[in-house]
Amino acid sequence: MHPLVAATPTPVHPLPRLAKALGLEPEQLWVKREDLTGLAGGGNKARKLQHFMSEALSGGYRVLVTGGGPQSNHARMTAAAAAMNGLGCVLVLRRPETEDLSGNLLLDRMLGAQIHWVDPIPFAALNQSIVDIAGAHTQKAYPIPIGGSSLPGAIAYAQVAQELSTQLTFDLVVVANGSGGTQAGLAAGLGDHARVAGVNVGAQDGIDAFVTDLAAQAAAALGLPTPNGAAQIDHGRIGLAYGVPTKECEEALLLVARTEGLLLDPVYTGKAMAGLIAWARHGRLDGKRVVFVHTGGLPGLLSTRYTQWMGAALVDS
């Protein structure tokens, strides 16, 4: 593990007051704090950056180049990893350029990243821009794909599943699924898809088969058996679209904040927790010990878009 990136192992602790509010026993509900990995606000992408950073440093690269949306958590964490290792950072972000300087974008700039705006182009084209911009850079520049799923990220989460298994005995983990790498890795590490419940946040289509395949690849890379079954993903929590918060997500953020003092984000962890809450209320978690994997994202809540949304929600709560 490289000493200059993620703060691991991350802690695990119970959520007894939330459990009680959901009609569960106090010892039934736990959280794995992947939001405490460091890197200017933390989150699941730190584990993957660990891998990319050691490749970049050993290859003598001077600049990291990555990209995503204006509120990308992965972009902000890459900017932090670059700063703490003395490298430059270019972030290739999709317009709107009018996005005001708040949330992750504010932190990107504070961390010294250079922002390269591009028109809203598809995922593959944006990944190609990252490669092109790195290739044209005056210094040796290391391209990192958008915070999407890749084998190193899934392998890192297979190792997180093993880390978690040394911390606690449990039946099920619940996690947000954006591009699927985190869920795939957890399933690979636990050896069984039935022990990982993913909640689709609507970032990408066709994630079911993708997660099952990626989990098999991650397991193979680590010499582990192919996980049993197929990816378990709840597709019912997206609402209107990726990034558009739902009423259930609003309830989840406020309930978790007020029972446990724990802050979730509106794009990923809030929708994942909305899934967990619905399953608890339908009796699907009865008799199980469940670990919610908090994958971070808090800086996004502090962007103007979401502070306005939450501000409006607080008027009637």
Ligand X SMILES: Cc1ncc(COP(=O)(O)O)c(C=O)c1O
Q: Is 295 in the site for ligand X (CB under 6 A)?
A: yes
R_g over Cα of the chain = 19
Q: Is 297 in the site for ligand X (CB under 6 A)?
A: yes
Contact 156, 183 (CB under 8 A): no
Among 178, 189, 202, 275, binds ligand X (CB under 6 A): 178
Name the minimum Å distance from CB 293 to ligand X: 9
For ligand X, the closer CB: 199 or 290: 199
Q: Which one-letter amino acid corresponds to residue 63?
A: V
Q: Is 180 in the site for ligand X (CB under 6 A)?
A: yes
**What residues pair up with 234 in beta bridges, in sequence order?**
199
Q: Decide the pairing of beta strands 29-33 and 12-14.
A: antiparallel
Q: Token pair of 97, please?
A: 């350029």
Name the minimum Å distance from CB 73 to ligand X: 4
| Interface region with ligand X, contact rule CB under 6 A, candidates 1-9, 10-18, 24-32, 291-299 | 291-299
Rounded Cα distance between 307 and 292, Å, is 24
- For residues 146 to 175, the per-residue mask of contacts with ligand X, x marking binding by CB under 6 A and - elsewhere, is -x-x--------------------------
SS3 call for 156 = helix
For ligand X, the closer CB: 88 or 145: 145
| Interface region with ligand X, contact rule CB under 6 A, candidates 81-89, 92-100, 136-144, 292-300 | 292-300
Nearest partner of 42 among 88, 9, 73, 12, judged by Cα: 73
Active site residues: 72
For ligand X, the closer CB: 140 or 235: 235
Among 10, 28, 73, 127, binds ligand X (CB under 6 A): 73
Nearest partner of 103 among 271, 267, 252, 298, judged by Cα: 298
Name the minimum Å distance from CB 35 to ligand X: 8
Strand (E) or helix (H) holding 54:
helix 45-58
Rounded Cα distance between 266 and 254, Å, is 11
Q: Is 266 in the site for ligand X (CB under 6 A)?
A: no
For ligand X, the closer CB: 147 or 275: 147
For ligand X, the closer CB: 24 or 218: 218
End-to-end Cα, the chain, rounded Å: 44
For ligand X, the closer CB: 143 or 180: 180
Contacts of 14 (CB under 8 A, 6+ apart): 26, 27, 29, 30, 31
Among 41, 69, 181, 266, binds ligand X (CB under 6 A): 181
Binding site for ligand X (CB under 6 A): 43-44, 73-74, 147, 149, 176-183, 265, 268, 295-297
